[in-house]
Structure 1
Amino acid sequence: MEVFSRRWRYSIINNTFSKLILGVVFIYLYCEYLIYYVTQIQCGWPSLTKRKPNDMEPVYAMIIADTHLLGSRNGHWLDKWRREWQMHRAFQTAITLHQPEAVFVLGDLFDEGKWCSQTEFNDYVERFYHLFKVPDGTTMYAVVGNHDIGFHYRITPHLANRFESKLNAPPVRLVSIRGNHFVLINSMAMEGDGCSLCSRAVAEIDRISDILKCSSGSALCKGKTKLQLYSRPIVMQHYPLYRESDRICTEPDAAPPSVRNNLFEERWDCLSKESTEYLVESLRPRTVFGAHTHHSCLVRHSFVPTPNHKIEFIEYTVPSFSWRNRLDPKYYLVTVSPDELKVTKCELPSEWTMQVTAVLLFIALLLYLKYFSRTTNVFNYKHLSGKKV
C-alpha cells in the first residue's frame, strides 16, 4: 500500500508539473504571438460606397508612423529588444492578415538617424527592413522624418543623401497606382528659405502641380505631361499641416488633456502656415496624412484662396506604431479609388492589456492545477481505499 501511495504522489506531482509547464508555454505563446491576431483580426479594410462593377480594383494601403528604432545611445538593450520584437510581431501579423498592396511609413523610422555614423546607419537600415519585411506583391514607401536626418537647421547633404539613397526617398516623390496619386514630401524641406534641399523640393512640387493641372484639364497647365487618369492627390508627410495646437483633436487617442492646448511651434511641431498654404494651393489634395505628434487627430480643412475657389479635404494625423511612444499603438488601413477614400484605424494590444492578460491567464492556470490536483487526490484515495468511485 505504501509503494502505491508513493507512486500515486509521484504521479500527481509529475502530472501537475507537466501541466504547469504546458500552461506557462501557452501563456507565453498567447501574449507574445496570438494576442496580435486576436486584436487585429477584428480590424478590416473599409468598404467603398461609390464603387461600380466595372471600376478598377481599389488600392489597399497600410499606413504606419514613428517607429523610432533605438540606436546605441538611447535606451536599455532590453527595452530595445522588447519594443522591436513587439513591432515586428505586430507588423508581420498585420501584413499576414490584411495583405496590403502598399505600406507607407510616415517618418521617424529611426530614433538616432540624425546622430549615428554611417556604419550605424547601415545597421539601422538592415534592421528596419528585417523588422518590417514585406512580401512580394507589397511595396513599402518611406517618408523621411526629423529623427531620421534632423530638423531643418541640422540637416547636412550627407544626412539627407544617405537616407534618400538607402530608403529610396527623395525630397518629393509622386507615386501613381491605378489612377490614385500619392505625393510623398520631406517636411523638413518645406522651410521656405531657399536652401538647396528646399529648392529641389519646391521645384518638384511645382512640376507635379503642373502635371496635375494638365491632367485635370485646367487652363493653367503649362507643360505637356499628363497622367493617364486624373484624381486629386493624397499627400503623405511626416509633419502635420499648420494648426495652432491639438486642441481641435477630439479622438479618444488624441493628445492627453495636459498637453492638448500647448501651442505648436511652426517648422518644429507642424508645417509653417505659408508652407501649408503653398502645398494646398499647389496640389489641391483630397486627403493629407501626417504624423510626428505620436497622437491621433482628424482635421477638416477648408481653404479659400480666391472667392470662387474652395479646397476642402480631411487631414489625418497617424499615431505612433511604437509602444515606446504610446501604450496603445495604432495603424491605418486605407481603401482608395479615384473617386473615394475610406480609412479604418486599427488598434494594437496595449501594454496594459498584455500584462493583465498574462496575469489573469496565470491565475486561471493555478486555479485549474489546484482543482485538478484535488480532484485527482479524491479519485485516487477512493480507488486505493477500495471505495466505489
Structure 2
Amino acid sequence: MATIRFGFGRLNFYLLKRRSFLLLKLIAVVFAVLLFCEFLIYYLVIFQCNWPKVKTSAYDSEQETHETVLKAMFLADTHLLGEVRGHWLDKLRREWQMERAFQTALWLLQPEVVFILGDIFDEGKWSSSQAWADDVVRFQKMFRHPPHVQLKVVAGNHDIGFHYQMDTYRIKRFEKVFNPERLFSWKGINFVMVNSVALEGDGCNICSEAEAELMEISHKLNCSRELLWWLQPRLVLSGHTHSACEMLHGAGIPELSVPSFSWRNRNNPSFIMGSMTPTKYALAKCYLPQEDTVLITYCGAAGFLVVIMLVDLGLLASPFLLGCKLLRKFKTV
C-alpha cells in the first residue's frame, strides 16, 4: 500500500513539474513578445534614422562650417481620441504607440525642437471643458520632453473646428494650453506658425486678426501680400493630409505635407527630420514601426503558444523529435 502511495506521489510530482515547466515556457514567450512589440521594435526601427546632412557647395563650404545646424522634428495629425468617438482599447493601443515612438525618438535622435503641425486632438472642435482638460492631460503625458527640448504646437481643424465652426472660445482654449507664439527664432532660423484654418480669405473677424498678425510678422522680418509674398519662406511644412505630399508654389517655394504620426491614420506612420541653418536645410523621413508587423508578430506568437501546449498534451508530435526521425530515415535510405 505504501509503495502504491509512493508511486502516486512521484507521478503527481512529475505532472506538477511538467505543468510548471510548461507555464514557465508560456510566460517566457509572452514576456519576450510583449517586450519586442511594445518596446524594442521602436528602438530597432527608429535607430535606422539619421539626421540629413546639409549640402554645401565648394564655393560656400568655408562659410557653412561656421553655421550651427538646428535639429528639428516635424510631426502631425496625432488625433488623440476623445470621449465621444474614442473606444478605450483604441485609445490604449494607438496612444501607447505614439508615446513609445515619441519618447524613443527623443532618446535616440536628440532633437532640439519638435513641431506638431495640427490636429493634436480628434474631438477638440466639439469637446466639453472637462473632456478637453482630460485630453490635454493625456497629451502632456504622451509628449513629455526634457526642458532643453522645445515643443511647438500649431492648431488644426480638429482642434478648433473647421473655418465656419471655429470661434474665439475654442481658439483661446487652445492657446491657453499651447503658447500662441506665431514667430519662433532659434540659431538664426525663423519659424512662422500659421493657423491655416483662419486663412479662408472671407474677411471674418478671426481671419482678419490672423492676417494682421502675419502682416506684423512680415514687418518684423523686413519682408516685402498673399501669405507667401508677405513672408517669402524658404520652405513650408504643413499637416492635415496624413500623407507626405510635396508641391511647388510660385517662385519655387516648396511645401511638404508631414505624414500622420498615428497608427489610426496610417499603417506606416512617420515624421520629418530637418537639419537647418540660416541659409540651407535638408529633410529626411523617419518611419515608425508598421502596425501590421506588430499584429503579425502577435499572431505568430499565439500560434507558437498553441503548438507548445499541443506538444505538451501529446496531441502533436514535437517538431524537434519529428525532425530527428525524418533525419534518421533519410540517413537509413
Match of 1:14 in 2: 20
In 2, the alpha carbon distance for the partners of 1:125 and 1:131 equals 10
Alignment-derived partner of residue 241 in structure 2: 293
Q: What's the secondary structure of 1:72's corresponding residue?
A: coil
Partner SS for 2:120: coil
- State the aligned residue count: 306
Q: Give the distance between the partners of 2:279 and 2:320, measured in 1 at CA.
A: 66
Letter in 2 for 1:23: V
Instruction: Give per-residue Cα distances to partners, 1:141-166, cap 9 Å, x unaligned.
Output: 01000111111111111111111121
**AA at the equivalent of 1:63:** F
> Who is 1:106 aligned against?
117
The 3 A distance-change label for structure 1 pair 81 and 374 is: closer
Return the letter of the residue paired with 1:183. V
Aligned partner of 1:280 among 193, 214, 228? 228
Instruction: Report sequence identity in percent.
Output: 43
Match status 1:66 vs 2:6: no
Distance 1:38 1:361 in 2: 19
TM-score by length of 1: 0.72
User: Does the C-alpha gap of structure 1 residues 120 and 5 become closer, same or farther in structure 2, counting only changes over 3 Å?
Assistant: closer
- Equivalent of 1:319 in 244, 259, 263: 259
Secondary structure at the aligned position of 2:282 is classed as strand
Please state whether the residue corresponding to 1:152 is helix, strand or coil.
coil
Give, in whole Å, the separation in 1 of the partners of 2:83 and 2:282. Answer: 39
Q: Helix, strand or coil: the match of 1:153?
A: coil
Shift of 1:4: 5.8
Query: Residues 242 and 259 of structure 2 are in contact (CA less than 8 Å); yes or no, is this contact kept in structure 1?
Result: yes
Superposed counterparts of 1:237-248, under 5 Å: none
Higher helix share: 2
CA distance in 1, matches of 2:160, 2:46: 32
Determine helix, strand or coil for the equivalent of 1:141.
Answer: strand
1:54 Cα shift? Answer: 4.2
Aligned with residue 88 of structure 2, among 77, 93, 96: 77
What is residue 211 of structure 1 aligned with on the other side? 220
Deviations 1:194-221, CA, capped at 9 Å, x for gaps: 222222221221222223336xxxxx5x
How far apart, in 2, do the equivalents of 1:111 and 1:28 lie?
Answer: 28
Q: Per-residue CA shift, 1:36-91, capped at 9, x if unaligned?
A: 11111111211122265742321111111111111111132221222111111111
Task: Give secondary structure in 2 for the equivalent of 1:333.
Answer: strand
Partners of 1:40 and 1:376 in 2: how far apart?
36
User: In 1, are the aligned partners of 2:237 and 2:258 still within 8 Å (CA)?
Assistant: yes
SS at match of 2:72: strand
Which of the numbers 75, 100, 105 marks the counterpart of 1:94? 105
For 2:155, give the aligned amino acid.
V
Corresponding position of 1:255:
none
Aligned to 1:265: none
Q: Deviations over 1:113-136 (max 9, x none)?
A: 111122222222222111111112
- Structure 2 counterpart SS, 1:69: coil
Q: Deviations over 1:339-374 (max 9, x none)?
A: 211111111112211011223344456667859x96
Q: Which amino acid aligns with 2:28?
A: L
Please, which runs of 5 or more residues in structure 1 have no aligned partner?
215-219, 221-276, 304-310, 378-389
1:37 to 28, 38, 43: 43
